[in-house]
Amino acid sequence: MPPRVPDLGEAELETLKTLWDGGPATVREVRQRLAQRGRKVAHTTVLTFLTRLEQKGCVRADKTGHAYRYRARVSRDRIVGSRVRETVKQLFDGAAAPLVLHLMEHESFSPDELAALQRHIDDLARQQEGRRPRR
Protein backbone atom coordinates (compact mmCIF):
# COMPACT_ATOMS: atom_id res chain seq x y z
CA MET A 1 0.00 0.00 0.00
CA PRO A 2 2.51 2.62 1.04
CA PRO A 3 3.57 4.35 -2.16
CA ARG A 4 7.26 3.67 -2.06
CA VAL A 5 10.06 2.87 0.31
CA PRO A 6 12.50 5.74 0.09
CA ASP A 7 16.20 5.11 -0.26
CA LEU A 8 18.00 5.18 3.02
CA GLY A 9 21.64 5.76 3.63
CA GLU A 10 23.60 3.44 5.83
CA ALA A 11 23.49 5.78 8.80
CA GLU A 12 19.81 6.42 8.34
CA LEU A 13 19.10 2.72 8.32
CA GLU A 14 21.18 2.27 11.43
CA THR A 15 19.17 4.99 13.09
CA LEU A 16 15.91 3.40 12.12
CA LYS A 17 17.11 0.11 13.53
CA THR A 18 17.60 1.64 16.95
CA LEU A 19 13.94 2.60 16.89
CA TRP A 20 12.78 -0.83 15.79
CA ASP A 21 14.91 -2.52 18.40
CA GLY A 22 14.48 -0.16 21.29
CA GLY A 23 11.19 1.55 20.60
CA PRO A 24 10.43 5.28 20.39
CA ALA A 25 13.14 7.53 21.67
CA THR A 26 14.45 11.04 21.87
CA VAL A 27 17.44 12.33 19.95
CA ARG A 28 19.56 11.88 23.03
CA GLU A 29 18.51 8.29 23.47
CA VAL A 30 18.97 7.42 19.84
CA ARG A 31 22.41 8.88 20.05
CA GLN A 32 23.25 6.58 22.93
CA ARG A 33 21.92 3.55 21.13
CA LEU A 34 23.96 4.40 18.06
CA ALA A 35 27.03 4.84 20.22
CA GLN A 36 26.50 1.39 21.68
CA ARG A 37 26.44 0.00 18.19
CA GLY A 38 29.72 1.69 17.51
CA ARG A 39 28.50 4.77 15.72
CA LYS A 40 29.67 7.72 17.76
CA VAL A 41 28.43 10.94 16.27
CA ALA A 42 27.47 14.38 17.50
CA HIS A 43 24.07 15.11 18.91
CA THR A 44 23.13 17.32 16.00
CA THR A 45 24.15 14.63 13.57
CA VAL A 46 21.60 12.31 15.08
CA LEU A 47 19.06 15.07 14.86
CA THR A 48 19.84 15.37 11.17
CA PHE A 49 19.33 11.66 10.63
CA LEU A 50 16.03 11.73 12.40
CA THR A 51 14.88 14.85 10.59
CA ARG A 52 15.70 13.35 7.23
CA LEU A 53 13.98 10.12 8.16
CA GLU A 54 10.96 12.16 9.07
CA GLN A 55 10.99 13.94 5.73
CA LYS A 56 11.15 10.57 4.05
CA GLY A 57 8.18 9.47 6.04
CA CYS A 58 10.01 6.75 7.94
CA VAL A 59 9.60 8.13 11.42
CA ARG A 60 7.19 10.36 13.24
CA ALA A 61 8.06 12.97 15.87
CA ASP A 62 5.74 13.59 18.80
CA LYS A 63 6.25 16.44 21.19
CA THR A 64 6.28 14.89 24.62
CA GLY A 65 7.50 17.01 27.47
CA HIS A 66 10.36 19.13 26.27
CA ALA A 67 11.92 16.91 23.68
CA TYR A 68 10.50 15.24 20.60
CA ARG A 69 10.11 11.52 20.74
CA TYR A 70 10.66 9.71 17.47
CA ARG A 71 9.01 6.48 16.50
CA ALA A 72 9.33 4.32 13.38
CA ARG A 73 6.52 4.60 10.87
CA VAL A 74 7.70 1.87 8.53
CA SER A 75 8.11 -1.70 9.56
CA ARG A 76 11.41 -3.43 9.53
CA ASP A 77 9.92 -5.99 7.19
CA ARG A 78 9.06 -3.41 4.61
CA ILE A 79 12.51 -1.92 4.59
CA VAL A 80 14.26 -5.25 4.70
CA GLY A 81 12.06 -6.61 1.96
CA SER A 82 12.77 -3.74 -0.34
CA ARG A 83 16.49 -3.78 0.31
CA VAL A 84 16.72 -7.49 -0.29
CA ARG A 85 14.75 -7.17 -3.49
CA GLU A 86 17.07 -4.40 -4.57
CA THR A 87 20.08 -6.58 -3.95
CA VAL A 88 18.56 -9.54 -5.72
CA LYS A 89 17.80 -7.35 -8.67
CA GLN A 90 21.22 -5.80 -8.86
CA LEU A 91 23.24 -8.92 -8.34
CA PHE A 92 21.10 -11.76 -9.61
CA ASP A 93 18.80 -10.20 -12.15
CA GLY A 94 15.91 -10.49 -9.81
CA ALA A 95 16.07 -14.23 -9.27
CA ALA A 96 16.05 -15.17 -5.62
CA ALA A 97 17.14 -18.78 -6.02
CA PRO A 98 20.69 -17.95 -7.12
CA LEU A 99 21.12 -15.80 -4.06
CA VAL A 100 19.99 -18.60 -1.82
CA LEU A 101 22.44 -20.91 -3.53
CA HIS A 102 25.17 -18.35 -3.14
CA LEU A 103 24.47 -18.08 0.55
CA MET A 104 24.46 -21.83 1.00
CA GLU A 105 27.79 -22.06 -0.71
CA HIS A 106 29.59 -19.14 0.83
CA GLU A 107 28.14 -18.68 4.27
CA SER A 108 28.00 -21.11 7.12
CA PHE A 109 25.06 -22.37 9.09
CA SER A 110 24.68 -24.08 12.43
CA PRO A 111 22.99 -27.47 12.56
CA ASP A 112 19.91 -25.82 14.00
CA GLU A 113 19.74 -23.26 11.26
CA LEU A 114 20.23 -25.95 8.68
CA ALA A 115 17.42 -27.97 10.12
CA ALA A 116 15.14 -24.97 10.12
CA LEU A 117 15.95 -24.22 6.52
CA GLN A 118 15.33 -27.82 5.59
CA ARG A 119 11.98 -27.81 7.25
CA HIS A 120 11.04 -24.59 5.57
CA ILE A 121 12.01 -25.69 2.15
CA ASP A 122 10.24 -28.99 2.53
CA ASP A 123 7.12 -27.11 3.45
CA LEU A 124 7.39 -25.03 0.34
CA ALA A 125 7.88 -28.09 -1.79
CA ARG A 126 4.85 -29.78 -0.24
CA GLN A 127 2.72 -26.72 -0.80
CA GLN A 128 3.69 -26.67 -4.39
CA GLU A 129 2.96 -30.34 -4.92
CA GLY A 130 -0.41 -29.89 -3.34
CA ARG A 131 -1.17 -27.08 -5.71
CA ARG A 132 0.13 -28.47 -8.96
CA PRO A 133 -1.33 -31.99 -9.49
CA ARG A 134 -4.75 -30.53 -8.77
CA ARG A 135 -6.42 -33.71 -7.76
Q: Which residues bind DNA (CB under 7 A)?
A: 7-12, 26-28, 39-45, 47-49, 51-52, 65-68
What is the b/e burial string over 33-55, where b = at least 16 CB atoms within 10 angstroms of the residue's CB? bbeeeebeeeeebbbbbbbbbee
Nearest to a copy of itself of 62, 105 (CB atom): 105
User: What are the residues binding a copy of itself (CB under 8 A)?
Assistant: 10, 13, 80-81, 83-84, 87-88, 90-91, 96-97, 99-111, 113-118, 120-122, 124-125, 128, 132
CA 130 – CA 135 distance, rounded (Å):
8
Burial of 9 (0-12, 13-18, 19+ CB in 10 A): exposed
Three-class DSSP category at 96: helix
Contacted by 84, from a copy of itself, DNA, none: CB < 5 to 8 Å by type: a copy of itself
Residue 88 CB, nearest approach to a copy of itself (Å):
7
Beta carbon of residue 101, minimum distance to DNA (angstroms, whole number)? 26
